[in-house]
Amino acid sequence: MKKPFKISLLVSVTVISFVIFYYSLKANNKNNPNIMLNKPLPAIELTSLVNANLKQELPLINRDKYYLINIWSSWCVPCREEHPILMKLKDKIKIYGINYKDKKTNATAFLNKLGNPFYFTGSDKDGSISIEIGAYGIPETYVVNSQGLIIFKHVGPLNKKIYLRISKIIK
């Protein structure tokens, strides 16, 4: 192989690799574990925590512009931390709570003590409802629109940054 040929081959391979990895940096930001973004929320039926005869089906179509779903439980410490933020959000947007693998007494005591931000609280005794909507650890929060699409999902406790983001989305 002649030298100029070798060099041009080298340069082309290197530049191509550079471009590929450059795009990988761009691509990675889109690929955060939100496979369900802009997909419809799977249909679930929640049974109220306080009244076993009261049921709520989600998603709601063509009702509210946006609403929140928050998965929580009384024994979950980060849930305790994000609670004040939920209380702030409750005046801006309806929040449907899913009480995850919890005892009714503990859950109600929790809400009585710290305040109830939920428009409706459903109970998920065996964790299957949370799995149905693609959750794997609590707390998790979803923002759903009037078409029933999940437009935002956050895993972990809400913080100030996420609160601002959600506020922006739901304007």
Partner 1 sequence: MRNIFLIILFIFFIPAQLVMASAEREINIYKNIRCLVCQGQSLNDSNSDFAVDLKKVIKKKIIKKQTDQEIYKYLTERYGDWILLSPPLKKNTILLWIIPTLFAILGAIFLIKRVQLAFLNKDN
Partner 2 sequence: MISNLGAVLLIVSFLTTCSTLFLYIKNNIIQKSSIYLQFFLFYKVSFYLILFSFFVLIVCFAISDFSIISVYENSHTDKPLFYKISAAWGNHEGSMLLFILVISLYGILFLLNSKNINDSLRACTIFFQSIIQLIFLSFLIFTSNPFSKIFPVPVQGLGLNPILQDPLLAIHPPFLYLGYVGFSLVFSLLLASLILKQYNSRWASIAKKWIMLPWSFLSFGIGLGSFWAYYELGWGGYWFWDPVENASLMPWIASTALIHSIVVMEKLKKLFAWTAILTILTFILSLFGTFLVRSGVLNSVHAFANDPERGVYILFIITIITLGSLIIYILKFPKESANNNSFTLFSRDFSILLNNYFLIFILTVVIVGTTYPILLSVFTGETISVGPQYYNTILAPFIFIFLILMAIGPLMKWNGKPPILIKQKIFSFFIVSVFLTILISLYLSGYNFIFLLGVMCSVYLIVSVFYEIVMNKKFFSTKQNFSRLFSHLGFGLLILAITLNHFFSKEINAKLHLGESFFKQGIKINFLKSESSKEKNFEELFGIYKITKDNKTFILKPSVRKYKQPQQFTSETSIQRDGLSDVYIAMDYAGDPSMGMGVRFYYNYFVRLIWISFALITIGGIVSFVRRGNEKTI
Q: For binding to partner 1 (CB under 8 A), which residues are involved?
A: 33, 35-36, 39, 42, 101, 126-128, 131-134, 136-137
Nearest to residue 99, comparing CAs of 78, 65, 130? 130
Q: How far is the CB of 87 from partner 1 (least distance, A)?
A: 27
Q: How far is the CB of 168 from partner 1 (least distance, A)?
A: 26
Q: Is 81 in the site for partner 2 (CB under 8 A)?
A: yes
Strands 55-58 and 44-47: antiparallel
Cα separation of 160 and 88, whole Å? 11
Cα angle, residue 159 at apex, residues 131 and 24 outer, rounded to 5°: 70
Binding mask 94-133 for partner 2 (x = CB under 8 A): -------xxx--x---------------------------
Nearest to residue 70, comparing CAs of 162, 135, 151? 135
Q: Which is nearer to partner 2, 10 or 54 (CB)?
A: 10
